[in-house]
Amino acid sequence: MGMPSQSPTGIKVKMPAEPVQATIRDGKFYRFQVMPVEGGSMEGLLRQIGVSIPAHV
């Protein structure tokens, strides 16, 4: 599965801040989680430039 390539649009996008939670053990990242927010992630970016996103199966 995947999406076809998208041509450049020249549209400026503004992404919302996405809170991050990190757990460090022995001086290394053990867990790194980005909290979902409305309009965030790759889906939010694609919507801003007008890309149709197929429904999730």
Domain for residue 11, yes or no?
Answer: no
Domain for residue 57, yes or no?
Answer: no
pLDDT score recorded for residue 27: 96
Alpha helices in the chain (DSSP H): 41-48
Domain for residue 42, yes or no?
Answer: yes
Number of independent structural domains in the chain: 1
The answer to whether 45 touches 15, Cβ cutoff 8 Å, is yes
pLDDT score recorded for residue 53: 81
Domain for residue 29, yes or no?
Answer: yes
Tokens of 14: 């503004």
Domain for residue 8, yes or no?
Answer: no
Range of the domain at 27: 17-48
Domain for residue 56, yes or no?
Answer: no
pLDDT score recorded for residue 1: 56
Identify the segments of the chain with pLDDT beneath 70.
Answer: 1, 56-57
